[in-house]
Amino acid sequence: MDLGLKSRTALVCAASAGLGRACALALAKEGVSVTITARDRDRLEETAEELRRLTDVRISTVAGDITTDEGRAAALLACPNPDILINNAGGPPPGDFRDLSEEDWQAALNANLLTPIALIRATLDCMITRKFGRIINITSSAVKSPIPSLGLSNTARTGLTGFVAGLSRQVAKHNVTINNLLPGAFNTDRLRKTAEGTAKSSGREVDDILAERAAANPTRRVGEPEEFGAMCAFLCSAHAGYIVGQNILMDGGAFNSTM
Ligand code: NAD
């Protein structure tokens, strides 16, 4: 299927690895010129080189922390009027809420609520003028089914979900869609790091924890980032203008519900 995205431009945040990288690659394969951001310049450039080898579109990089004013300004300077915005940033740390400081809460709200809203604010009106825009927020399955140790994530991401629910319906008439993609367990550095944390506190092997996680899923595996990227590219496609304000859960069926 031709997704109708050739010559479009995309800003993909936090994309040197994992799900952000997969979204950038899937879009680039569809002919989208992509600007990717991440904090670690070397890793970002390595990823950009990989994407250039795999595709024939322009891949630009912006090194910086997307959760800061400077990081966002640099990203928007490099890609001021994207047709497509993929909001992503690292997830907040786990912990009992009694141990969390005011700073921990501010950091989580900044990274996973205020940063995506700031980037939407900076790019939305140009999309409306152009009569085409696609915004995807990478959130988490925690929005549908809270993860007890991730109170920061549960809270900040649910706030973003509420914001998107309202705004998306106001801009859909301009062929600008805003949707959230909710990953369950995907095979990325973050999944491994989380398993390493559990291994440390439980004295178990990381690989055993990952295998157990896969075995508990209806698919008997975790998701591959390429699968996530493909869904992201479709939601950004010319054919997806009638998908508005949705929360698309990709978790292999782990969330047990009838609808
Ligand atoms: P990852 O750790 O594999 O990759 C994160 C990417 O974001 C890297 O490129 C990193 O350099 C970049 N990054 C992180 N913080 C940044 C910042 N402040 N500014 C710029 N770049 C930054 O993570 P992932 O697994 O791809 O997860 C992406 C998002 O999805 C995270 O918010 C994560 O919490 C969420 N999520 C992931 C899973 C999963 O199983 N992988 C599940 C649920 C939610």
* pLDDT tens profile 34-89: 999 999 999 999 999 999 999 999 999 999 999 999 999 999 999 999 999 999 99
Confidence of residue 97 (pLDDT cuts 50, 70, 90): very high
What is the pLDDT averaged over residues 162-184?
A: 98
Distance between Cα 129 and ligand 1 center (Å): 31
What is the pLDDT averaged over residues 141-167?
A: 96
Distance between Cα 174 and ligand 1 center (Å): 30
What is the pLDDT averaged over residues 144-151?
A: 94
Is residue 129 pLDDT above 90, yes or no?
yes
Confidence of residue 197 (pLDDT cuts 50, 70, 90): confident
Residue 248: CA atoms inside 13 Å, Cβ hemisphere, count? 19
Range with the lowest mean pLDDT among 9-18, 79-88, 101-110, 199-208? Answer: 199-208
Distance between Cα 20 and ligand 1 center (Å): 7
Q: Which residues line ligand 1 at a C-beta cut-off of 6 Å? A: 14-20, 37-40, 65-67, 88-91, 138, 140-141, 183, 185-186, 188-191
Q: Closest Cα to atom 33, ligand 1: which residue?
A: 91
Q: Which atom of ligand 1 is nearest to the CA of 17?
A: 9
Q: Give dist(CA 228, CA 15) in Å, integer.
A: 13
Percent of the chain scoring above 90 in pLDDT: 96
3-state DSSP of 31-75: CCEEEEEECCHHHHHHHHHHHHHHCCCCEEEEECCCCCHHHHHHH
Residue with tokens 């991401």: 157
Q: Closest Cα to atom 17, ligand 1: which residue?
A: 65
Query: Buried b vs exposed e over 155-180: b needs ≥16 C-beta within 10 Å?
Result: bbbbbbbebbeebbeebbebebbbbb
Percent of the chain scoring above 70 in pLDDT: 100
Q: Closest Cα to atom 7, ligand 1: which residue?
A: 14
Q: Give dist(CA 168, CA 245) in Å, integer.
A: 5
Task: Indicate the top mutation candidate among 37, 115, 188, 251 to test ligand 1's pocket, ranked by most ligand atoms within 8 A of CB.
Answer: 188
- The model's pTM: 0.98
What is the pLDDT averaged over residues 90-97?
A: 92
Helices (H), 131-259: 151-171, 189-202, 206-216, 225-236
Is residue 201 pLDDT above 90, yes or no?
no
What is the pLDDT averaged over residues 178-202?
A: 93
Distance between Cα 162 and ligand 1 center (Å): 21
Using CB atoms within 10 Å of the CB of residue 43, give its burial: 0 to 12 exposed, 13 to 18 middle, 19+ buried. middle
Please state, rounded to an integer, the average pLDDT across all residues of the chain. Answer: 97
Confidence of residue 194 (pLDDT cuts 50, 70, 90): confident
Beta bridge partners of 10: 34, 84
Classify 183 as helix, strand or coil: strand
